[in-house]
Amino acid sequence: MKSSVQSLALLLSLGALSGCAGARSSLSLPASHYPVSLSDGMLGPNRELLAAGEMETVSHFHETRTAWSTFYALVPFTPRLDLSESINAQIAAAHGDAIVRLRTSSRPCALDYFFGLTLLPIWPGCASIEIDGDIVRYRATARTATPR
């Protein structure tokens, strides 16, 4: 009898601790005035591929956003996170020309750790998204390059 009660208690505990929560979204920059690259490569002012020595890193781009979803992260409240304004502002402030090596980092946030409540499909989940990159400026050699 005692072991049955213990088993039931354990099963109830495990059930209460089951669940899933999180969020999904898409980062976009539809109104960016500057080119942004996920790699080391970048095009110059004359739309030529720049060599490493033709650009210099002048600052670091950093932005944090939160994505929200519900129904076990299947229904996003924030399907798009627009970075355009932030990118335009940070590059202008650094007097840069572009961003290279853009990288993203995502992790679940606090609401995802409410055991029991995450069993409910209507429980909202969230994800903390960090975006980093290197703001670069074209060197003079790139600026004065002859257009092809």
Helix (H) or strand (E) holding 87: helix 84-93
In the complex, the smallest distance separating the C-beta of residue 93 from other proteins, rounded to whole angstroms, is 16
For residue 46, CA distances in Å to 34, 80, 83, 86, 142 come to 14, 31, 25, 25, 8
In the complex, the smallest distance separating the C-beta of residue 122 from other proteins, rounded to whole angstroms, is 16
For other proteins, the binding residues in 38-67 under the rule CB under 8 A are 38-49, 67
In the complex, the smallest distance separating the C-beta of residue 141 from other proteins, rounded to whole angstroms, is 14
Residue listed under structure tokens 């890193």: 57
C-alpha span between 26 and 76 (Å, rounded): 10
Beta bridge partners of 90: none
C-alpha span between 138 and 52 (Å, rounded): 10
Binds other proteins (CB under 8 A): choice among 102, 123, 124, 135: 102
For other proteins, the binding residues in 4-33 under the rule CB under 8 A are 6-7, 9-10, 13-14, 17-33
Say whether residue 140 binds other proteins (CB under 8 A).
no
Residue listed under structure tokens 């995802």: 112
Binding site for other proteins (CB under 8 A): 3, 6-7, 9-10, 13-14, 17-49, 67, 73, 80, 84, 97-98, 101-108, 112-113, 115, 118, 125, 127-130, 132-133, 138, 147-148
